[in-house]
Structure 1
């Protein structure tokens, strides 16, 4: 089993970045340039006074592209009769069904692609995702936790899905997960998976990995109810008294506030708190104009 990012002179804070539905790793990289710059600034190679963590190798964000190539019919708002070319658009799964309980076609394929990145480019300290990628971040954090395979086996006997084979490795003596439990997870406009019994082992028992959630107060793409489903599936989902808040609202829609000072400060404080095992929250934040990467107001099929 891979270990967490080791303590050495080249240590990096390494985060797996999971894009949203219809995006790619490349487009998500572009949309989060300001966030990467802010993390570099506020999580410097040498520790600041009062903080234990240091990352002499800096911050490294890894941006895989989901494996499911979307057709034009899968892309909300795309005019199939228009003259514009179909964009490069990918998803971690496709949602099937007109109402709850939904099923997710290709979820095994999407998780297997993430598992490959964890094995080939890890170890990672955390995972951060937007929209469908935010939902996937919760799934990945859950899958890597101690005891989660047993939860899946129990649920499978009652109609739940099988624990993904892609997250299991055979060391020759014992089967174990492909990567150590993550230190943290972050979701922007994410959501809990369908309430279909197939997926409940992801959330029962609750996700132990510390997870932070950013929600748009006027998000018309992912409802607050769906986002709070993921929040409430986490231990201390809404935060611990005296600690860094785990749920942060921004006064916008379906986008990632990558350079808003208070939102970057909240993210940095959360990361510091969880990696430094209870050190006080950071103060200050990144400067810069907030860049709002908006989606169309529509019901996205994820």
Structure 2
């Protein structure tokens, strides 16, 4: 039986050039909607296993970014690039890693630092039931879900023998008797405009074997920052990537670009249905494989 104050706790991972604080502000409407759908008991609609309601935790990535990380420089730089560079310098702009290279296969610099921050949050502010991320944070959400799965360390060890990335030391704790992962497996993960890390063999152990944690993918139909191909690479790296037949769709499209539709009713409903399904509190089946949910332009959230 759940304790009266047990809350549904979700780790929120911001995108590149954002911070935990800015992501919290930008998802304020989403938080408000989720609070209504997952209220504390005894309000109607509360989750029986989480009578305390909902809690979202927003860490900030460790890598402080500057203008050179975000905008082009040199003779091809435009006045708009310069203005954006100034905005980056003046704002709280952070990343979980820096991408290196002009084309695939990319490599990611500083990823170990990003995972150290996430691992610290898992231990100091956890346990969490799920992880949700936007853009680079969506990619990180998939990686975190993967890292916490049973057998993943062994997959990394096999891949490392062939030149792959080492399993992050920060995700391992030594109890004095046995080394174990720092946090239990997540019950679910959510990616908004997320993507697979890279086609680089360094990172294959994140996705081979496929991610077994249930994962929802929300993709912008006209996203010009993260292509549909990159987002679907993450979808295809998940077991039952598009969803189980007769269940809630695991791939949802919105008609906008690179932003999180935090107040659009169809997309909040899709998220709520997904969470209820994976927690076993949906009360019914529904959905189907991958779908496009329509929304009027005037109902859409402001991009970020």
TM over 0.5: yes
Query: What is aligned with 1:228?
Result: 232
Find the residue that maps to 1:158 and give its secondary structure. coil
Contact 2:64 2:94 in 1 (8 A): yes
Structure with the largest fraction of helix: 2
Find the residue that maps to 1:225 and give its secondary structure. helix
**Does residue 19 in structure 1 map to residue 22 in structure 2?**
no
Contact 1:257 1:290 in 2 (8 A): no
Q: Residue 53 and residue 24 in structure 1: after superposition, are their counterparts in 2 closer, same or farther (change >3 A)?
A: same
Q: Residue 258 and residue 269 in structure 1: after superposition, are their counterparts in 2 closer, same or farther (change >3 A)?
A: same
Contact 2:2 2:49 in 1 (8 A): no
Identify the match of residue 50 of structure 2 among 48, 55, 77: 55
Q: Residue 55 and residue 155 in structure 1: after superposition, are their counterparts in 2 closer, same or farther (change >3 A)?
A: same
User: How much does 1:49 deviate?
Assistant: 7.5
Identify the match of residue 42 of structure 1 among 2, 17, 37: 37
Query: What is aligned with 2:23?
Result: 28
Q: Residue 247 and residue 47 in structure 1: after superposition, are their counterparts in 2 closer, same or farther (change >3 A)?
A: farther
User: How much does 1:98 deviate?
Assistant: 1.0
Aligned pairs, number: 285
In the superposition, the TM-score normalised over structure 2's length comes to 0.88
**Does residue 92 in structure 1 map to residue 96 in structure 2?**
yes
Query: What is aligned with 2:64?
Result: 69
| Stretches of structure 1 lacking an aligned partner (at least 5 in a row) | 1-5, 284-288, 296-302
Bigger relative contact order (CA 8 A; separation at least 6): 1
Q: Residue 34 and residue 173 in structure 1: after superposition, are their counterparts in 2 closer, same or farther (change >3 A)?
A: same
Q: Residue 81 and residue 24 in structure 1: after superposition, are their counterparts in 2 closer, same or farther (change >3 A)?
A: closer
Contact 1:18 1:133 in 2 (8 A): yes
User: How much does 1:164 deviate?
Assistant: 0.2
User: How much does 1:86 deviate?
Assistant: 2.7
Contact 1:52 1:276 in 2 (8 A): no
In the superposition, the TM-score normalised over structure 1's length comes to 0.89
Find the residue that maps to 2:90 and give its secondary structure. coil
| Stretches of structure 2 lacking an aligned partner (at least 5 in a row) | 72-79, 288-297
